Amino acid sequence: MKRRIRAVQFIKYTSYLIGYDAYGNETYYEDDGYWSKSEFDANGNTTYYENSRGEWFKGEYDKNSNRTYYENYEGIVRGVKK
């Protein structure tokens, strides 16, 4: 079951910004031109990540949080996509 990711809290520090979802997962980070964002499933597993350098990955997990699929910006693919 995939949950909607919604940052419910943003904290602005002196030079950076961090966003968290309702479960405490870091969904957004920004500092000096660099940024990253993440999405999570209902178990807190990272299902998507990307950053301002063009790096990204996607992941899928079974009900026990075992990763069943992985794909990234370098073209590495492991497992079978649902």
Residue 69, SS3 per DSSP? strand
Q: What is the pLDDT of residue 1?
A: 45
User: Residues 57-79: what's their mean pLDDT?
Assistant: 96
The domain ranges of the chain are 9-79
pLDDT bucket at 13, cuts 50 / 70 / 90? low
The CA distance from 31 to 57, in Å, is 21
More confident call, 11 vs 30: 30
Q: Flag whether the pTM goes above 0.95.
A: no
* CA 76 to the chain's CA centroid: 17
